[in-house]
Structure 1
Amino acid sequence: MNRSDTPQRDESIVADTTLERRSSLAIWVSRLEGPQTMGRGVLFWTVAALVVLAAAIYPLFSNPFAVGNSAYFMVWTFMAMGLGVVWGYTGALSFGQTAFFGLAGYAYGVLTINFGAAYGFTWIALLISVALGGLLALLIGYFMFYGRIRGVFIGIVTLSVTLVFETFMAQTAGPQWRIGDARLNGFNGMSGMPPLTVPWPGGDIVLYPGLGLYYVLLAMVVLCYLGLRMLLNAPFGNVLVAIRENPERAEMLGYDTRAYQMLAFGLGGALAGLSGALYTAWGQYITPSSMGLTAAALPIVWVAVGGRRDITATLLGTLAVLFGFQSLTVYGSQYALIVMGALLLVTVLLTPEGLFATAMRWIGRRFKGAQR
């Protein structure tokens, strides 16, 4: 063999490796900026980075109550994004997200009351609670989708599960209703569970509603958002959209539509469970009313107003509606639910794609027109 060929081979190997890395990077970028999500290009990601930076700086110029309240808003975004996947991308309107929320919240309470918070166990309890929410959603999804339940009947089934679970938990007030040291307490709710803790030399860091919890939740929201963007722009997300648009055609192309719907429903349940466990850790309590009819309807309003068919619009709309709803509750509680209902009605009649999604598309068209 000619030794002069060796450097050329090495250069060829390096070139191939570089090409593979570039192609892998292109795949990741394409999944962040694919056709199933709005927002792409340098301008979008620059604005997104500035928003996250502003959110990170905000607690330094605010009071502890406002910071804890902002953390409360972020807790609910996971359930909203999960419902966006189930309803907006899969086409299955679920009224049962609060059932998974409540199951995970109670599971977190039972686990942490019985086993404590030392050595970071709260995070293990959080993961177990999320898994339970996802497993319940997979079980319900299996019977619904493999039972060929469609359309409005999905909403009826999921709402029935939620109301049955709420009614059962409200009737567990007696002393016999306990799991180890954790009493369920009926309609009064469970309390006394520890917040999230971070193991640290010299003692665990307790994440009470404040600066620490705020930054943990901010990081979780960003990671969840980016992960969902990549998932929805991957082949899995493309199949979900195909099922939403025409399930019969997707089946004729060889896809098991029921399996995809069940998996999407399980993902939505896991994200709702994440909200439930974080809510319980944030407030150190959970009640059956968090799964009631009003609680079940509110996520529908958040996602519809934001825009159910885009994860960015869902996230922004949820935060905006939560802020508005809380303000209405503080200054005019008797009108808050009426205004929310009116907002949903206006959205459905005038901007069925969602207020934020419609606004984002309008801004995008105007910006493209200005560039020309």
Structure 2
Amino acid sequence: MGYQFAHLEGYARKGSQQRKNGKMQPRKWSIRDIVAEAMREPDACLHVWDPQPPKLLYGAMPSQLEALAEAYAATVQDAQGRKLRADGLCVAAGVVSLPADRADDWPQYRAVAVGFLCEQYGKRLRSVVEHIDEEHPHLHFYAVPLDGERFEVLHVGRQAAARAAQEGKAKGAQNAAYKAAMQAWQDGFHAKVSASFGLARTGPKRERLSRAEWQARKARLRADAKARQAVGPVITSDQVKKRVTKAGFFSEYETGQELAERLDALAREEYAPATKAAALVASSRNRADAMQRLADERSQEVESLRARLAAAEAKADAAQKDAALYQQVFMDGLDGSEQAEVIDRARSLRREKAAKVKAQQEASWSPEYRAHLERIEAEFQRSLRAIEAEDQRKDDDGRELERPDAG
């Protein structure tokens, strides 16, 4: 099923350049650079094998962004009342993509994504174009603030960081606010766009999921996507109108009861496929839940086996150390016969210790318990003698039968 890809970045009329560890870093792209890449200008899209002109989906072509950015920059000032610097951010640009194996879903996914962007940016959304010359279907979107607005109105991450700075928070807290806001933006895009198509919010590597857990996650997402899309046909306004039952100068119309019965039958007929689809979705979701439970159980089993293996390895290491110590203390420097003598002596000591332990146990027995054991032993001996006597009698009878008749 794959996972969503949506990215948002800010750009200025002049690409900024920073120094890190004493070295100048590569210059950040400017608005001119992103326009050239979007419009597939020569030498601006070397990563594309066969560049094709972009397809306009909304607004104006990206080629107009530079003029829009210049016009916007003329309407804003910084906190000191100075005009916006050339490296001040003017354009928010982003990318929305879909995995290559989901190309069949792209037309519908693209439409929902553009709707999300229009809802979020309103009049500030100036251009949305589609590139059809790369492996993954994707679109680029561009937004410019309205006259006099701060750039942060387009970028929730920078907006959150600026708010933290105004509150006097440290740089680390500002960065944390930025990340949290961008994660929330990704969550919102997923809830309103990607979830309906069964895409995961993040990939397996990001959450360190096992293959079984990732497969279960994808199965669950597929079931949820089907549930979102299992909507039956809509009853039109014409169908709700009362129908003429008798035409003429004094036309007669169906009664409210007749209208209700007709609409009820129509609803059952129209929504039968949706009802069936909902049942299939429920079955798919149950299977997905079962896969998730199995993945959880297998994960627990693996952890248990790992713990047992670690304990066994620790025990083996301890035994190996004991054996090495035994060899060092008792055997090093001795020849074969001397080592055999040590082993025999150890066995004798073990036998003596076992006999001593047994004697101590017997000494602790009460007279009643000792008498009980003696009775059991006597009964056992009687039974044994009886069995031996019976065996002897059978042997004697057999020999008697085998004796030849006299005379």
For the aligned pair, the TM-score class normalised by the smaller chain equals under 0.3
Greater Cα radius of gyration, structure 1 or 2: 2
Structure of higher RCO (CA pairs closer than 8 Å, 6+ residues apart): 1
Kindly indicate which of the two structures has a greater share of residues assigned to strand: 2
TM-score, L = length of structure 1: 0.21
